Amino acid sequence: MSQTHKRILLGISGGIAAYKCAELVRRLKDHHCDVKVVMTESAKQFITPLTMQAVSGEPVADSLLDPAAEAAMGHIELAKWADLVLVAPASSNIIAKMAAGIADDLLTTLLLATPTTVAIAPAMNQQMYAHLATQSNLSTLASRGVAVWGPGQGEQACGDVGKGRMLEPHELVSLTLDALTPEVPLLAGKTVTITAGPTREALDPVRYISNHSSGKMGYALAEAALALGAQVHLISGPVTLTPPQGCEVHAVSSALDMHQMAMKLAPDSDIFIGCAAVADYRAADIAEQKIKKQGDAMTLTLVKNPDIIADVAALKAHRPYTVGFAAETQDVAQYAQGKLKNKGLDMICANDVSQAGIGFNANDNALTLFWDNAQQSLPLASKSELALTVVKAIAGKLN
């Protein structure tokens, strides 16, 4: 693996492991990385700036109050220059300063000023590493998105044996290259169309038939597909939700409207997920005026709506990978597997909406995925968490 002139800012703090930084810089440069070095005053007690300048080919920065650097706001420029800031070794002292947001020298100021990824390679005595204060500081940094690489375990310079050794240069190089290699999103270049929410089947200008679907699951699926790099079309029935930023929303009302939009978008989609709660029937005739009360009973004539997910699955040309949802109140697995087969789907996501706290209008859900002759149970979780798991499972079938 190689990088084309990726820019690494190496921050060296005081610790015996600083002697390994010369090899670390050399190995990074072997991978075509540009490396600049910042040293604390303590670091210079273990390895000289001249050594680091020789291996990096760049002047070593060590003073926040350098008049020449400050004239050009040098610490800010360095902070912006880097693609990755790596603090190695990261002593317990520098870790504590980072956690507290202290900026009392060049390195700690850079760490506050940089917008880029920061990684640390802890290196200290095993007892110092195990101390509750150090562990708390590391947890704080990790929660802020700082990558914590190591430490390793073994014999230490002080004679102790335990966890606290800085990772070896080749290990840090590998981690650095991985961090600088952007992961290709699972659905990059794919188009996903999702139906969500209820449909409304008009009876007259005032009344309609509908259901309790809130659209939360469908909208969560759209957000998950976006997060995995897909271009997303969201065909949404009437809901009160705010669509995820970045998806193209197609607002519809009736099942016929949703069917028409689905058949338009499906042939240009790689994945089609039918999550909407589509009305099975609609009024045979919609009254032009509000229907008035007439006696104690009223008879409605309903006709069957088209089966959107089955029609998408039946496409002969440009058929997308087709995923349906089955919201059942009994015999969930039996009905879901029947729909999977009868509608010609690739996958179906089934849930028991008779259970309290999941399904319609709830923020949580539990699903069982069925495909081919396999199944996967997804226990109770937020709809956002479930949606990401479902979309990743679908992506895995395409790759």
Query: How confident is the model over 50-62, as pLDDT tens digits?
Result: 999 999 999 998 8
The pLDDT assigned to 294 comes to 84
* Mean pLDDT, residues 77-105 taken together: 92
Asked if residue 220 and residue 361 are part of one domain, the reply reads yes
pLDDT at 71 over 50: no
**Full domain range(s) for residue 78:** 7-180
- Eight-state DSSP code of residue 340: H
Q: Is residue 51 part of a domain?
A: yes
User: How many C-alpha atoms does 198 have within 13 Å on its Cβ side?
Assistant: 16
Cβ atoms 21, 49 nearer than 8 A: no
Asked if residue 148 and residue 35 are part of one domain, the reply reads yes
Backbone angles phi, psi at 40, to 5 degrees: -85, 170
Residue type, 371: W
Position of tokens 């995995």?
228
Q: Which residues lie below 8 Å from residue 80, measured CB to CB, with a gap of 6+?
A: 114, 115
Please count the helices (runs of H) and the strands (runs of E) in the chain: 14, 19
> Which pair of structure tokens corresponds to residue 169?
């240069």
pLDDT at 362 over 80: no
Among the three residues 127, 157, 180, which one is the final residue of a domain in this structure? 180
Among the three residues 180, 211, 230, which one is the final residue of a domain in this structure? 180
Asked if residue 383 and residue 275 are part of one domain, the reply reads yes
- Identify the weakest region by mean pLDDT among 246-255, 279-288, 370-379: 370-379
Model-level pTM? Answer: 0.61
> Which pair of structure tokens corresponds to residue 241?
């939700």
* Mean pLDDT, residues 167-174 taken together: 92
Q: Is residue 333 part of a domain?
A: yes
> Which pair of structure tokens corresponds to residue 74?
């040098």
pLDDT at 79 over 50: yes
Q: Is residue 292 part of a domain?
A: no
Backbone angles phi, psi at 241, to 5 degrees: -90, 155
Catalytic residue chosen out of the listed positions 33, 158, 247, 275: 158
Q: Is residue 145 part of a domain?
A: yes
Asked if residue 204 and residue 136 are part of one domain, the reply reads no
The pLDDT assigned to 70 comes to 47
pLDDT at 359 over 70: no
Asked if residue 66 and residue 11 are part of one domain, the reply reads yes
Cα four-point dihedral sign 377, 380, 385, 386: positive
- Identify the weakest region by mean pLDDT among 36-40, 72-76, 335-339, 358-362: 72-76
pLDDT at 361 over 60: yes
Q: Is residue 343 part of a domain?
A: yes
Q: What is the rounded average pLDDT for all residues in the chain?
A: 90
Whether 158 sits among the annotated catalytic residues: the reply is yes
Q: Are strands 364-371 and 347-352 parallel, antiparallel or unpaired?
A: antiparallel
Which 3 state secondary structure label does DSSP give 331?
coil
Residue type, 288: E
The total domain count for the chain is: 2
The pLDDT assigned to 9 comes to 95
pLDDT tens digits, one per residue of 209-243: 999 899 999 999 999 999 999 999 999 999 999 99
pLDDT at 348 over 60: yes
Q: Is residue 264 part of a domain?
A: yes
* Mean pLDDT, residues 169-195 taken together: 91
Q: Using a CB cutoff of 8 Å and minimum separation of 24, what contacts does 79-83 make? A: 79/9, 79/110, 79/113, 79/114, 79/115, 79/116, 80/114, 80/115, 81/7, 81/9, 81/36, 82/7, 82/8, 82/9, 82/36, 82/114, 82/116, 83/6, 83/7, 83/8, 83/116, 83/117, 83/180
pLDDT at 2 over 50: no
- Eight-state DSSP code of residue 25: H
Q: Is residue 1 part of a domain?
A: no
Among the three residues 152, 180, 208, which one is the final residue of a domain in this structure? 180
CA distance 159 to 35: 32
Question: Could you give the percent of the chain with pLDDT greater than 70?
Answer: 93
- 49: preceding bond cis by omega (within 30 degrees): no
- Eight-state DSSP code of residue 352: E
Q: Is residue 361 part of a domain?
A: yes
CATH number of the domain enclosing 233: 3.40.50.10300
Asked if residue 227 and residue 158 are part of one domain, the reply reads no
Which 3 state secondary structure label does DSSP give 244?
coil
Cβ atoms 39, 52 nearer than 8 A: yes
Cβ atoms 66, 39 nearer than 8 A: no
- Identify the weakest region by mean pLDDT among 31-45, 75-89, 312-326: 75-89
